[in-house]
Amino acid sequence: MKILLTGARGGLGSECKEVLKSGYEIIAPDREEFDITSWDKVIIAINQLSPDIILNCAAFTKVDECETERKISERINVEGTRNLAQAAARYDKTTVHISSDFVFNGRKRLPQPYFEDDPMDPLCFYGFTKMESEMAVKQNTRNYIIIRAGWLYGIRGDNFLKKILRVALKRKRESICVVNDQFGSPTWSYRVARQIKLLLDNGKEGIYHATSEGYCSRYELAKYFLEKMGIKTPVVPCAAKEYPTPAIRPVNSILENRQLKREGLNVLLNWRKDLDTFIDKYGEDLLREETGAQGD
Ligand SMILES: NC(=O)c1ccc[n+]([C@@H]2O[C@H](COP(=O)([O-])OP(=O)(O)OC[C@H]3O[C@@H](n4cnc5c(N)ncnc54)[C@H](OP(=O)(O)O)[C@@H]3O)[C@@H](O)[C@H]2O)c1
C-alpha cells in the first residue's frame, strides 16, 4: 500500500516516515513540492501519485502565533486539511488526520480524562482550527482515521522538552519557572507513529485518542526531564496566570485512549517509562543539539 505523507519534516511526520516504511511505500514530498493549501497541487498530486492512504501530519503548530496569524493558521490547518479530504474522497482514498487535545476546553475535574466522544469546545484559535480540521475530514470523506495526540516530544522538530533544555542550559544555576496548573500526558511521537501503523495494519477507521498512560503537570515534566538529563538547573512551580500567553491553554489535557483499549490496540506506555527510554536513546543527541545551537 502506498501512503502520501504530509509534514514529513516535522516532529511526528518524521517518525511516521521511519516507522511506516516497513510495510508501506511512502511518498513524502516536502512543503515546497506539495503545499496542502493549494487545491491544484493537492488534486494533481493525488491523481498522479495515486496513494491508497493520505496521512496528514502537516499543520501550523505554533499555538501562540495562531492567535495573531489567524488567516495563515486557518488556511493550513482547516483549508489544507479540507483539500486533502476532498481529494481523498474524489479518488476514494483513506485519510488519516492528526488532531489535538486542544479541541477540548480542559474544564473536566482533574484527573478525569477526555474521551473520544466528548464535545469539542476549544479555548484558543489553534484548538479552533484543529476542531474545524476534524469537521473538514468528517464532512468530506467516508474513510478516515482521526488521531488526537497531545504534549508530543521527539528527537526531530521543536518541542516543550527541547525548549526547557535550551533555557536550563542557558540559565545554569538560576532557576526556571514552569506552570504547575496545566496537566497532560507527555507522549513520544515515535510511539504515536507506531500506533498509527497498527491502526492501518488492522484497517481501522474512526476517532482515536493516542497519548501516553498517566499524567503530570508541565512543572513535573520539566523537573523529571532535567533530573534524568543530569541538568542541575532548579525548576520552580508557578501559576499560568503569572505568565500569560496569547493563547489560553486547557488546564486538563488528559485524554483516555478508550477506543484503542476497547479494540485491544493500545501501544502507548506510561509517560515516565517512555521518557526514560527516549532519554536513554537520545539524551546525548539532545545535549549536543542544544549546546551546538547555543554556540552559534
Ligand atoms: N506538537 C504537539 O505537542 C502536538 C500535540 C497534539 C497534536 N499535534 C498535531 O500533530 C500534528 C504534527 O505535529 P508536529 O508537532 O509534528 O508539527 P511540526 O513539527 O510543527 O511539523 C509540521 C509540519 O507541517 C509542515 N507544513 C506546514 N504547513 C504546510 C503546508 N502548507 N503544506 C505542507 N506542509 C506544511 C511543516 O513543513 P516545514 O517543515 O517545511 O515547515 C512541518 O513539516 C499536527 O497536526 C499537530 O496539530 C501536535
Delimit the domains of the chain by residue range. 2-158+186-215+254-270
Question: Helices (DSSP H) in 119-270: which residue ranges?
Answer: 125-140, 160-171, 189-201, 218-229, 258-262
The pLDDT of residue 293 is above 70 = no
Distance between Cα 110 and ligand 1 center (Å): 28
C-alpha cell at 237: 512551580
User: Residue 76 CA: which ligand 1 atom is closest?
Assistant: 31
- The Å distance, Cα 36 to ligand 1 centre, comes to 12
**What is the percentage of the chain residues whose pLDDT exceeds 70?**
99
* 85 CB-side CA count, 13 A: 24
Instruction: Give, using CA atoms, the residue closest to atom 15 of ligand 1.
Output: 11
Identified catalytic residue from 114, 126, 144, 224: 126
Instruction: Please state the rounded mean pLDDT for residues 225-241.
Output: 96
Q: Which atom of ligand 1 is nearest to the CA of 80?
A: 31
| 63-72 per-position pLDDT tens digit | 999 999 999 9
Residue 295 has pLDDT above 60, yes or no: no
Distance in Å, CA 155 to ligand 1 centroid: 14
- Residue 129: pLDDT over 70: yes
- The average confidence (pLDDT) of the chain is 96
CA-to-CA distance for 200 and 185, rounded, in angstroms? 24
Residues 235-272: tens digit of each pLDDT: 999 999 998 999 999 999 999 999 999 999 999 999 99
User: Is the confidence at residue 21, as pLDDT, over 90?
Assistant: yes
2-158+186-215+254-270 CATH: 3.40.50.720
- 236 vs 169: CA distance, rounded Å: 16
Encode pLDDT of 179-197 as tens digits: 999 999 999 999 999 999 9
- CB distance 216 to ligand 1 below 6 Å: no
What's this model's pTM, rounded to 2 decimal places?
0.97
**SS3 for 124?**
coil
pLDDT score recorded for residue 171: 86
What's the pLDDT at 292? 80
3 state SS of 145: strand
Return the pLDDT at 294.
59
Split at pLDDT 50, 70, 90, the class of 172 is confident
Res. 125: pLDDT tops 60: yes
Residue 281 belongs to what H/E stretch? Answer: helix 271-295
Q: What residues pair up with 5 in beta bridges, in sequence order? A: 55
Cβ–ligand 1 distance for 11 under 6 Å, the answer: yes
Contacts of 283 (CB under 8 A, 6+ apart): 228, 229
To which residue does cell 516535522 refer?
A: 10
Does residue 153 have an active-site annotation? no
193 lines ligand 1 (CB under 6 A): no
Q: How far is the CA of 262 from the centre of ligand 1 (A)?
A: 29
Per DSSP bridges, beta strands 94-100 and 187-188 are unpaired
Nearest atom, ligand 1, residue 62 CA: 20
Which of 12, 190, 195 maximizes ligand 1 atoms within 8 Å of its Cβ, making it the mutation to test the pocket? 12
Q: Is 274 helix (H, G, I), strand (E, B) or coil?
A: helix
Neighbours of 116 (CB within 10 A): 17
Contact yes or no for 229/287 (Cβ under 8 A): yes
